[in-house]
Amino acid sequence: MTQPHQIRARVLAAAEECLLEGGFGSARLHSTIARRAGLSRPTVYKYVGDQDAIVSALILREVTALLQELEPLLERNLPFIEGLVDVMAFVVRHGREHRLLQAALRDAPELVLPWFTTHADVLMERVASVALAYLKEHPKDDWPNIEPRFLVDASCRMALSLIFTNGLVDVSDPEVLRRYLSDFLRPVMPSRSRG
């Protein structure tokens, strides 16, 4: 018997394919998703919901996957700033190159941008739950002399800004991005041992 989480996963996989093909503006999105997933339209609504709910579920799914991809970077046990630069560079590149996110920004920015601006606190809480647990379990002498929750908040805000805005520095080049992050973070995050 198919479990509810399996049906939901099928719906989201089909939704991703449809949205990548430009389906954000389609009035028949649910029908297309249902057909592609081999389900009925009512089943799509039952397990995921309307278009906003589909977008929300996809964003949360992708953030969860990103946090899992970050685990090996966190486990490298690098000096704090070097590790933070690695993590932030990975997140920024991931966001700027993410096919579904870029398709959403192209086709329906009004559905997606609130998740990363006015409602970013929802995603930041999810990131914070992982980051703060990691910081608590892996204390280091070279941590910055900053309240951990403030550190996570500031890092998230900076990463979101670098993903969604263009500026004077072209951060699409990985080496430029790393240098940018390193040059900015080192002076503003003095370690406890120095501070």
- For residue 126, being part of any structural domain is answered with yes
Q: Is the CA virtual torsion 84, 69, 20, 118 positive or negative? A: negative
> Domain residues for 45?
1-49
114, 125: one domain: yes
135, 161: one domain: yes
User: What are 40-50's pLDDT values in tens digits?
Assistant: 999 999 999 99
44, 62: one domain: no
What was the pLDDT predicted at 125? Answer: 95
Residue 31 belongs to a domain with what CATH number?
Answer: 1.10.10
What was the pLDDT predicted at 90? Answer: 97
- For residue 193, being part of any structural domain is answered with no
> CB under 8 Å, gap of 24 or more: what pairs does 127-131 form?
127/63, 127/67, 127/152, 127/156, 128/152, 128/153, 128/156, 130/67, 130/70, 131/155
- List of the chain residues with pLDDT < 70: 25-27, 190-195
User: What are 159-181's pLDDT values in tens digits?
Assistant: 999 999 999 999 999 999 999 99
65, 19: one domain: no
